[in-house]
Structure 1
Amino acid sequence: MSGPTPPQPSAAHAHWQGPLWTLALLLAGLSTIGPFSVDTYLPAFEAMEKSLPASPLQLQQTLSAYLFGFAFMQLFHGALADAFGRRPVVLWGLAVFTLASLGCTLTREVNLLIALRAVQGMSAGAGMVLARVIIRDLFDPVAAQKMMAKVTLFFGVAPAIAPMIGGAIISVASWPWIFAFLTAVGAVLWTVIWRQLPETLAVPNRQPFNLRNLMHGYREVGADARFLLLALTSSVPFNGMFIYILSSPTFLGRHLGLAPTQFFWLFCVTIGGIMAGAALSGRLAGRITPRKQVALGYALMGAMAAINVAANALAPAALPWALLPAGLIALGWAMAMPAVTLLVLDTFPTRRGMASSLQGAMGGALNGITAGVIAPIAMVSPLGLATASALMIATGWVAWWLVRARVQLA
């Protein structure tokens, strides 16, 4: 498929004057502000329930409203960026996020807080969708994979430190200060991007912004078998690890007999796996082909999933081995994910923003299905979780097997 010629690695230096690791840190901040805003305020639920006042259901709605807004707007951020450029969509998204966070800081009415959280979610997704698009705008495939791996490495840290930061804030101040912290994060990101990151999409490469062209784009991308299979290749196996996190209260508390204070071990294992896999992906970029790298990632995930099913079928789940599969599956996924994501973006070079949006929306929908349907069924036993995880990894492998003959890999 024809499209604009990808810029050479030197284009990144033309757009970013500092060390490339600082660009990786900035793009990681864009990618993580969405999930970071989910986890940071969770330690404050009890304090919020007392001071607002609010029922547990209403507090849960502040989370649901955020996640719904986040998932819904992922469908549109990329299309807007293909038409108007990356920079204005990111800046407007961060501006709205910052103002919504300030509103959450100031409000003491729970229904208004729910509405503001929805606005937060709708705006936060712009960073996640467009960070990977900006990477591909600036770098050739090998350099882009290395940069994507760096971003994933930083991304792995966010879920671990977000609740810690929220817990630290609530231990010394009231819950609104958590949202004040998010306001400051949004303001700092907006300022740095406004001052340091110019536009990465040239005007001749932009898409016309009209309903007919948008509908054509959604049909073109959403109906393309190669795109859909690649999106499944990256998103389905993620749930092979994610199902353990979703089921952690039952898996860790009921099946493994851990106290709530010990739950962090699962998060350490999975986050460590993501970080190790991302680091390995960056080191392998340019040394082996993307096809081989994805194959290695799936070989690790598949072997671990098979061993996990066999171990749980033969013996009761026990520490420490029961926690290792999630971490090694996360490692395999993170090793393959940067290469697969770049293949997704390059499927439609002229509509990379839209492709990134739809990939994110598909991933969010699959996460929702796993959370609402698969995890409640599978968590009845460790063997059920292992089997569900293995089936999701197998589904991703089948998608990759079907698509690899269609995709020309360097």
Structure 2
Amino acid sequence: MVAVDIAVHNVSKSYRVHRNGGRNLFRFKRAERTWALRDVSFNVQRGEALGIVGANGSGKTTLIKLLARITSPDGGDIAITGRLMSLVEVGAGFHPELSGRDNVFLNAAIFGVPVAEVQKRFDRILEFSGLADFIDAPVKTYSSGMFVRLGFAVASQLDADILLLDEVLAVGDLAFQARCMDRIEEIRRSGRTILLVSHDLAAVERLCDRVLLLTSGEMAGEGSPRDMIEKYQTSATKCLPGSNLNFDNGGIALHGVSFAGHDGARPTTGAPLSVRVSYETEVPVDDVVFTVSFIWPSGYICTELTSASATLAAGRGHVVFDCPILAIQRGLYTVDLTVTTASGRVLAKRIRAAPFRVDPGLIVQGDFYMTHSAKLERDET
């Protein structure tokens, strides 16, 4: 039987929120109770990596603070087996007037780690943080990235049984983020338990065995990382406002975009894809270029389709893009549409024109599939 390191049963947490400015000199304003979590239940088995995702205000950080015993629930039970260390907020557990060196021991002491163990691991903590030149400076002089580097180094190098991480990958440069990812993978392989809260959905999918989805303080789902991330993306996309912008009296309106896989089927990785953009123009327009941008959930452009320059007659029409292979990973994307002149002047733009779902087809490891072949060659002796 697999041991359970964390057991959460019907946990709820509320906060008092003062409306209309809190209080004045003569009386307190009326306070209302807002529920950050309601009846949340789940277990985390020993050695499991659990991700927690959801929109801002969904209760993720509140849950982590309850597990870290920073605050207490209004109702329900939390049982934790083993030594737990957490990195919940930038600078949490640090005293601003003390040096980085002193704060390493202070932070470890908060989590019950003996001084002898910290001394034994101090060089590893210092090397991982990359703060050797600043370790004896007061931490009030540290940047937010330096805070997180030192906090993560302490939490990850002291061999806690359970590690709670809240948005640790959101702060720090690319080199440090890569070290964090490698260290989390190493901790996973060692059989210890990890809880990761992050808006970096790619990191959650890579690092976690299972994911909880929170919505407005309640459990909205629990399952595989891919399924829960897609469910979260679907609900988030429905809340995104769209726009249809025309520029410089370009006279072009974008009416929509549709997608079809092979023989009209839903788009799947590795299969052909057809993208159809509908437009209308009041007058003929010369040298027009259409662009379809596929946007990651993080907001970055994944890839683009661009048409050749063409002349549009007045009236309604369509631009059809044919892709022999849809090479991007399964998941939910959003699509932006742009119409420009060949010289780059924007005539019309439709932001978040439609969601674009890619179903599983060809198995893709990573974000893209690259058409390829391979052959074996021997060196001549």
Q: TM-score range by the shorter chain?
A: under 0.3
**TM value normalised by structure 2:** 0.23
Structure with more helix by fraction:
1
Looking at CA atoms only, which structure, 1 or 2, has the larger radius of gyration?
2
- By relative contact order (CA 8 Å, sep 6+), the higher-ranking structure is 1
Structure with more strand by fraction:
2
